Amino acid sequence: MRKRMIAGNWKMNETYTEGVALAEGLAKELADGTGDVDVVVCPPAVDMKGVAEVIDQQNAPFALGGQNVYWEEKGAYTGETAPNMLTNIGATYCIIGHSERRGYFGETDEDINKKAKALMAHDIVPISCCGEPLEVREAGKHVEFVVDQIKKDTEGLQITDPSKYVVAYEPIWAIGTGKTATADDAQEVCGAIRKTLAEIFGQETADGIRVLYGGSAKPNNVAGFLEKEDVDGALVGGASLKADSFAAMVKAAM
């Protein structure tokens, strides 16, 4: 049985001060716990230590994740963050392969695959993103596009505990646009992702891997996605920047 997951991707929003306040607000909103739902927040790198302290001090029921990582252990890689820098401050998850990193920063599937391996070697759970641009969707090629990403992003991975690898399907045309995929659109691709994972890792492993939907997910639409068989949660951008709306999404998943 897969535990549902609601993860917040703050992207490049919230200064350290604002991020700490947001984490404190979320700790209050979720003070009664999150039931069976895994909750993750992924702040900007410079906010992470502050959010980790809020989690510790308030015993908050959410985990900390990064938004990016580099695959080398240490060295002359200006501007990058190593996996053990994430673990050292208490992060247990990390987003990789977000379409904004692929699009603006030229990340390739090969890079994403190396990042997944580096994270897993440090027992950090990758939240590995995939998703098609509008023209691919309009050409009706979205399933094969995403399946191809999944095959490349997972190449050579050893998944012994399927709860420790997460996929997020985020159709690019639905990110930050207010244009959501329908729940059926999400199910079509999330189902194809699980089928691909089953071909690669076996059905039992695929059945344990969470597949999230992301793209204009909000308190008023998240329940519809979660009803779908292969949608196990949401990766939330804009609606994760307000403690009350993000908490409402967690509660909708409980």
Binding site for ligand 13P (CB under 6 A): 9, 98, 170, 175-176, 214-217, 235-239
Question: In this structure, what token pair is assigned to residue 75?
Answer: 């060295």
Minimum separation from the CB atom of position 199 to ligand 13P (A): 26
90 three-state secondary structure: coil
Residue nearest to ligand 13P (CB): 237
Q: Tokens 């050579």 correspond to what residue?
A: 156
Indicate the residue type of 183. Answer: A
**Does residue 122 carry a catalytic annotation?**
no
Minimum separation from the CB atom of position 77 to ligand 13P (A): 24
Minimum separation from the CB atom of position 153 to ligand 13P (A): 16
Q: Which is nearer to ligand 13P, 137 or 201 (CB)?
A: 137
DSSP state of 164: G
Minimum separation from the CB atom of position 175 to ligand 13P (A): 4
Q: In whole angstroms, what is the distance from residue 237 CA to residue 13 CA?
A: 10
Decide: residue 105, CB within 10 A, 0-12 exposed, 13-18 middle, 19+ buried: exposed
Q: Which of 14, 29, 132, 170 is catalytic?
A: 170
Q: Which of 98, 100, 142, 188 is catalytic?
A: 98
Q: Which is nearer to ligand 13P, 13 or 92 (CB)?
A: 13
Q: Which is nearer to ligand 13P, 9 or 34 (CB)?
A: 9
Q: In whole angstroms, what is the distance from residue 97 CA to residue 234 CA?
A: 16
**Does residue 227 carry a catalytic annotation?**
no
DSSP state of 181: P
Decide: residue 75, CB within 10 A, 0-12 exposed, 13-18 middle, 19+ buried: exposed
- Nearest-5° angle of CA 106, CA 120, CA 147? 55
Q: Which is nearer to ligand 13P, 23 or 217 (CB)?
A: 217
Instruction: Please identify every residue annotated as catalytic.
Output: 98, 170
